[in-house]
Structures are given as C-alpha cells and as structure tokens.
Amino acid sequence: MRKRIPKILVTGGAGFIGSAFVRLILGDCRRGGLNLPYGSVIIADKLTYAGDLKRLAEVEGKFKFYKTDICNRKQIETIFAREKPDIVVHFAAESHVDRSINDASPFIETNIKGTQILMDTSRKFGVKKFIFISTDEVYGEIANGKFDENSPVKPNSPYAASKAAADLLAQSYIRTYKFPAIIIRPSNNYGPWQYPEKLIPLAILKIIGCGKVPVYGKGLNVREWLYVDDCARGILAVMNKGATGQIYNLGSACESKNIDTVKLLLRTLGVSQDRFEFVKDRLGHDIRYSLDSKKLYQKLGWRPIVKLAQGLKFTVDWSLKHQGWLKSKLGDINKLYNK
C-alpha cells in the first residue's frame, strides 16, 4: 500500500523564510526538495507589507493559498475543517525589531494571540506535528559563550518578547496537553527575497540607489548569519526527524560584527569601502547573539552549507537581477527610517 503523503499547512508561507521552505518542499528532488503533489501544501498568509506571492512564482500552481489572518479564529477553524492538515509549520509573524520598537501592538496580536489560536485549532483538529518557528532573540544577548536550548529565555526587544511569549506558550501546551509541538530557534537569516528593512537587503538597496549604508552605533553588534536555504533545510530536517516536545537551536556558527558584514558586502558589490555611515543606535540594541546548535547537528545530521562570503555573493547576484522588486519597497522603507 502506498504511504499517504501528509498535508502540511504553512503559515506565513509568502514571507521570506516561509517561502524558501515552501520552494524547498515543492521543489525538485534533485536539489533536495520533496516535490510534493498539489493539495499537500496549504499556505495561510495575511499578505501584510512583508508578504508577497512573487516569492512563490517558481512553484505557482503547486500549493493551495488562503489569504487569512491567523488572529481570526473563525477563518482559521474553517481552513482546518476543510483541509485537515497533519502538520503545521508556523512562520507567520511580525518579524522586524525596529517596527516593534515603534509599535508593539501588531506583535502582541499576531505573534502571541495568533500562535495561541493556531495551537488551539491544531489541538481541536488533531494535528500530529506543530512546528513553531521561534528565534535566537528569545535568549537575549550574550557577550561571551553560546546559548544552548536550556539557557533561560530573557528577551530584550518587544519583538523578541512577543516571540518568547509564544515560545513559552508552546512549551506550556506541550507540558499541559501533550501538544505535539517542536520549537525551532533560528539565528539571523539572509538571502534572496528578504524584505529590505533588514540589514543586508537594506544595505544592497541603499547601494543600488547610490546612497550610503546606515550602520547602527559603531557597528559592533554581532549576529550569527544563516543563509535562508540552509535554514529551510534545517526546518525540513526537524519536520522529518525531530522529536515532538523538543527545542532545537538552528544556527550557522558563522558570527560577524555588523560593520564587518557591511564591509564584506561592499566588497562583494564592488563599491568603495566607505559607502556606509554610522547612525544613532537602535534602542536597547542586543550586542551579540550566539547559538550552540550541537543538538541539531548531532541528532538530526543537519549542517549549514553556505558560508557568509558565498551567501552574500548569491544574495548580491540575486538582488541585482531583482532590483525592481527591491525598489518597489523603497517608499515603505523611507517611511520606516526617514520619519
């Protein structure tokens, strides 16, 4: 008898990382994809400023799409009743720290309440696996050493606090209801199709527009950079082989100060090393994130493949070919940063 292919509901599948995951599971097997048939992948996305179906053009016609708000319990229940997903991979979120500093409200709504509604509905409809995409930012900052999965949660920005609340809620559902959740905490992602509010695509957009790259403070904040396709493969490894009830850090071990990342990017773009300017630091800016991802490396056999220099080269090549898409977000970026 042929094995039944599980139905996967992906929230936030029109976003940056969610779309990379969808392209992977619907994509070519020869490139590590699953080539899942039509009907097995369902995307639920509100298409906020950050959502864009253009990211899914290469797998168009291979997934079902619902434009919906995860905070709308009635709509979410209707989708679950109709589609009966076996697995939920929950990416949907407000994801940008600077926006959370301007206004935390949508972060509380989507990241906390939306996650609660999805978990309640998943319980009600007997979902077998619920993958919650959390973040390394739930741990707060660390000057030396690394956070492992047992490190305390101590978030600093409103964004990180909203993700930590949802992460803790998922842990409480695991304990209270034996809810089959798995929590993944990825480090900073970058790569094609990232919204140009985040450091790397913002820098590229500025250079394309003949401007200078804004660097917070003195550029000394350290981030652990993970190429988005590596992240998507890590999430797939957890979906296939991860144990329910577990938390997995998903990091690249590739750390770089923001100023060094920007200088490497300027070299990759072939422009002068002085095309940046220091700007007033972000409020409450975390100095360093660093993950110990041994559990994922050793238990599930996942390894990042793309090194930072190579990933930046892929991202620059992609960006130069997709300048129109990046530039289409310029009005929104100017509103965000040139208030």
**Residue 318: burial class (beta carbons within 10 Å; 0-12, 13-18, 19+):** middle
Calculate Rg over the CA atoms of the chain: 19
Residue 106's nearest CA partner among 157, 156, 158 is 158
Of residues 52, 137, 167, 230, which has the active-site annotation? 137
Closer residue to ligand NAD (CB): 119 or 275: 119
How far apart are the C-alpha atoms of 152 and 144, rounded to whole Å?
15
Cβ 91 vs Cβ 10: under 8 Å: yes
Of residues 45, 52, 69, 136, which has the active-site annotation? 136
Closer residue to ligand NAD (CB): 32 or 106: 106
CB of residue 166 to ligand NAD, shortest distance in Å: 9
Footprint of ligand NAD (CB under 6 A): 11-12, 14-18, 45-48, 50-51, 69-71, 91-95, 110, 114, 133, 135, 163, 186, 188-189, 195
Task: Estimate to the nearest angstrom the gap between the alpha carbon of 295 and the chain centroid.
Answer: 20
How far apart are the C-alpha atoms of 198 and 189, rounded to whole Å?
10
Task: Estimate to the nearest angstrom the gap between the alpha carbon of 248 and the chain centroid.
Answer: 14
Of residues 45, 66, 141, 159, which has the active-site annotation? 159
**What sign has the CA pseudo-torsion 29, 35, 41, 46?**
positive
Closer residue to ligand NAD (CB): 34 or 291: 291
How far apart are the C-alpha atoms of 339 and 334, rounded to whole Å?
8
Question: Any catalytic annotation for residue 159?
Answer: yes
Which residue is at the shortest CB distance from ligand NAD? 15
CB of residue 69 to ligand NAD, shortest distance in Å: 4
Cβ 250 vs Cβ 148: under 8 Å: no
Helix (H, G, I), strand (E, B) or coil at 330: helix
Helix (H) or strand (E) segment spanning residue 247: strand 247-250
Closer residue to ligand NAD (CB): 131 or 316: 131
Angle formed by the axes of helices 258-269 and 199-208, nearest 10°: 40
Question: Any catalytic annotation for residue 136?
Answer: yes
CB of residue 93 to ligand NAD, shortest distance in Å: 3
Closer residue to ligand NAD (CB): 105 or 323: 105
CB of residue 310 to ligand NAD, shortest distance in Å: 18
Question: Any catalytic annotation for residue 260?
Answer: no
CB of residue 292 to ligand NAD, shortest distance in Å: 16
Closer residue to ligand NAD (CB): 15 or 27: 15
Active site residues: 136-137, 159
